[in-house]
Amino acid sequence: MADNDVIAKLWALANNLWWSWHRDVRFIFRDLDAKLYRACHRNPVALLRRIDPEVLTERVHDLEMLARIDRAVRELNHYLESNGAWGALHGGPLNAAPVAYFCFEFGIHESLPIYSGGLGVLAGDHLKAASDLGVPIVGLGLIYHQGYVHQRLDASGWQQDPVERVPLDELPLHELTSPDGTPLRVRVELPESTVVLRARQAMVGRSRLLLLTAQDPDNPEPARELTARLYWGDMRVRIQQELLLGVGGMRMLQAAGIEPSVIHLNEGHTAFALLEAARQLREREGLDGREALAEVGRRAVFTTHTPVPAGHDHFPAELAAAHLAPLAAGLGMPLEELLGLGRVRPEEHGAAFLPTVLALRLARHRNAVSALHAEVTRRMWRVLWPERPEEEVPIGHITNGVHVESWMAPEMHELLELRLGPEWRRGRAEPQAWQGIAAIEDGELWELHLVLKARLLAWVRRHVQAFRARLGRPLEPVPLDEGVLTIGFARRFATYKRATLLLDDLERLDRLVNHPERPVQFIFAGRAHPHDEGGKAFVQRIDAVSRDPRFSRRIVFIENHNMHVGRQLVQGVDAWLNNPRRPLEACGTSGQKVVLNGGLNISIPDGWWAEAYDGRAGFAIGRGHTHRDPALQDARDREDAFRVLEEEVAPLFYERDAQGLPRRWIARVKHAMQALGWRFNAERMVRDYTLGAYLPAAGGLSAALPPRRGG
């Protein structure tokens, strides 16, 4: 009967995370039962599991609903069947054997909370853009059944980290099985026990994502908890998680019959994959361990994201020795020699083992994630190539970009489709596709911005009032005004990002936000790592300032920053503040999302902004200097941030013509969209990886990694 057919279609839609970048599809689920949809945190699988069958039957009898479902299924099928023109044309050997993309975190949608911040969101955007382009890729990660951090503030504003249970059975995940239906299982040897791993597969459009878990009844209890949480536990847990992902991931690929042409390591945590790939190669082809490592290295791409040495895992020698012995045996190599590959100075016995160093030594294609970050990275790791001058250290860069459909407000997307036409619809990685922005009428763009801004402010007020109510705080005054310049700041509260930079001068902040003609308001959000007391102190400080009567209308903090919160903010703010301690922001991507939605960046010229800012595309804080004394650097950057806000940003925003339009502000918005939109998106990024790294690694082309235009 028809009902089963419709329900099957709904499941087909729910089971591909394609919906995470298609609002029309998400709205189908919302409109089945709006209240339940919200209660399920916008998760279609949970909704279908929990919806009252009678309600569902009634809803799918609605002709319009049926038509929407049919259209969505047709579009999904069309998307999956079309082979992705760009990848078919340029993918070469990747079309026969995919890229294996390893990362510790993936941010695809907020209902799958296995990411901490930018790195995970980047990995999610990478899989989505590869899917759009038709570049075959398989993601490998861990599925953390307790997620990352579910931020809850207590009455004093201190961040609590209550344990969360991720409802694995209510997510679009399917156990990876062999053809006879039995779960695929692989084993990884750890000093305490051998751990059994299983995999759940998620479909991200055309891209597959395999997420490993140690939750198997055959594992002893402590081993089962190894995959409980992201970035959790001590060094021992960390090295074991890294082995489970790297070694287990390669074994799972083998068990599933997937032989990748390229191994892409996204950040050093994933480096052990190369050792296992070499072990497999040796086993298969009888190579010597060293030859196998060299061969695997030719097919490996390593992307580094961390510009300070302390940010890279340093495993004590004994810990590393105890954990790497089985791999050394499998490679037929002396353990000491293998350990040497991960030491800064191989001959220094007893020195720490760094997976990043292992990856830099083995992978032939190495890149940083912005031009400035590449300079810093070459300086930092020059020690590994002592015979070379710094500029010849073989680390290039491919600047990060964001997935347009995931971050651009659907209304803005519609406007650009309409005004920029087929060129933009076909692709966003070329400057020509964005040319038409200049011709969009100022009034049309501004009106849309005001609609998006009003939606954001309404959402923030609801959130803030619910938060105040929960903590028994006064609900007056209602925060935020429509007409006021609204600046967002949302990201991980790592201390180098300096969320409280402006809050260290409250007098001046008071004058800024309560200026009689040109007031400013701020929306902050961000989670601190559970062990980061400094980051938690930032949260508490912002919360305290937001309760100070001078600021309680103008400064708000949104609890539990995640992709949903981020999406709201980047789509509705007038401007975005980014004030990291240069040069510690390898790239930064949240500001790129703001560009796509017609907001302006106010940023330290660090990471992507150092190559994006051209004097007109937004605002720059400071002149890109770095001081030896961080306190001095903070003071100077604070001073300049206030100056830019008072003298440049606010005056430009409040300068209106007879029609009430901020013409010169809008001109900057348009310039930013046109000059930056094509460069800082994930389609350009994945094309650069494909042409500059994947194809050379797969042996399909002999180009060296180009530090190319995208930056």
Ligand X SMILES: *Cc1c(COP(=O)(O)O)cnc(C)c1O
Residues that bind ligand X (CB under 6 A): 117-118, 121, 491-492, 561-563, 566, 588-591, 593
Smallest separation (angstroms) from ligand X to the CB of 525: 9
Nearer to ligand X, 121 or 675 (CB): 121
DSSP, collapsed to helix, strand or coil, labels residue 591 as helix
Nearer to ligand X, 118 or 696 (CB): 118
Nearer to ligand X, 147 or 566 (CB): 566
Smallest separation (angstroms) from ligand X to the CB of 67: 33
CB 433 within 8 A of CB 423: yes
Inter-axis angle of helices 355-362 and 289-298, to 10 degrees? 80
Smallest separation (angstroms) from ligand X to the CB of 497: 6
CB 119 within 8 A of CB 111: no
DSSP string over 595-652: HHTT-EEEE-S-THHHHH--SSSEEE-S-S---SSHHHHHHHHHHHHHHHIIIIIHHH
Nearer to ligand X, 364 or 593 (CB): 593
CB 321 within 8 A of CB 339: yes
CB 229 within 8 A of CB 153: no
Can you tell me the distance from the alpha carbon of 100 to that of 212, in angstroms, rounded to the nearest whole number? 14
CB 383 within 8 A of CB 294: no
Nearer to ligand X, 209 or 292 (CB): 209
DSSP class of 706? P
Nearer to ligand X, 323 or 561 (CB): 561
Which two tokens mark 698?
A: 């797969």
DSSP, collapsed to helix, strand or coil, labels residue 160 as strand
Residue type, 15: N
Q: CB-hemisphere CA count at 13 Å for 550?
A: 13
Nearer to ligand X, 453 or 491 (CB): 491
Residues in the chain: 711
DSSP class of 433? G
Closest Cα partner for 293 from 273, 313, 269?
273
- Which value, to the nearest 10 degrees, does the dihedral of the CA atoms of residues 116, 117, 123, 128 take? 110
Nearer to ligand X, 128 or 561 (CB): 561
Smallest separation (angstroms) from ligand X to the CB of 489: 9
Smallest separation (angstroms) from ligand X to the CB of 367: 17
Which two tokens mark 139?
A: 């993601």
Smallest separation (angstroms) from ligand X to the CB of 292: 36
Nearer to ligand X, 123 or 273 (CB): 123
Smallest separation (angstroms) from ligand X to the CB of 360: 23
Can you tell me the distance from the alpha carbon of 244 to that of 250, in angstroms, rounded to the nearest whole number? 10
Nearer to ligand X, 381 or 407 (CB): 407
Smallest separation (angstroms) from ligand X to the CB of 144: 16
Smallest separation (angstroms) from ligand X to the CB of 265: 20
DSSP class of 691? I
Nearer to ligand X, 289 or 401 (CB): 401
Nearer to ligand X, 212 or 604 (CB): 604
Smallest separation (angstroms) from ligand X to the CB of 544: 23
Can you tell me the distance from the alpha carbon of 708 to that of 398, in angstroms, rounded to the nearest whole number? 7
Nearer to ligand X, 28 or 595 (CB): 595
DSSP class of 183? B
Smallest separation (angstroms) from ligand X to the CB of 448: 22
Nearer to ligand X, 42 or 561 (CB): 561
DSSP string over 450-518: HHHHHHHHHHHHHHHHHHHHHTT----SPP--TTSEEEEEES---GGG-TTGGGG-HHHHHHHHT-SSS
Can you tell me the distance from the alpha carbon of 505 to that of 369, in angstroms, rounded to the nearest whole number? 33
Smallest separation (angstroms) from ligand X to the CB of 710: 17
Phi, psi dihedral angles at 142 (to 5 degrees): -110, 150
CA distances from 514 to 351, 413, 517, 551, 690 (A): 55, 35, 9, 8, 50
Smallest separation (angstroms) from ligand X to the CB of 447: 26
Nearer to ligand X, 153 or 363 (CB): 153
Smallest separation (angstroms) from ligand X to the CB of 491: 3
Smallest separation (angstroms) from ligand X to the CB of 566: 4
Nearer to ligand X, 16 or 562 (CB): 562
Smallest separation (angstroms) from ligand X to the CB of 649: 19
Which two tokens mark 194?
A: 């051998």
CA distances from 454 to 126, 404, 447, 481, 482 (A): 31, 22, 11, 9, 7
Can you tell me the distance from the alpha carbon of 240 to that of 232, in angstroms, rounded to the nearest whole number? 12
Smallest separation (angstroms) from ligand X to the CB of 111: 13
Can you tell me the distance from the alpha carbon of 563 to that of 568, in angstroms, rounded to the nearest whole number? 9
As a 3-state breakdown, the chain gives helix, strand, coil percent values, each rounded to 5, of: 50, 15, 35
CB 598 within 8 A of CB 416: no
Nearer to ligand X, 445 or 542 (CB): 542
Can you tell me the distance from the alpha carbon of 591 to that of 607, in angstroms, rounded to the nearest whole number? 11
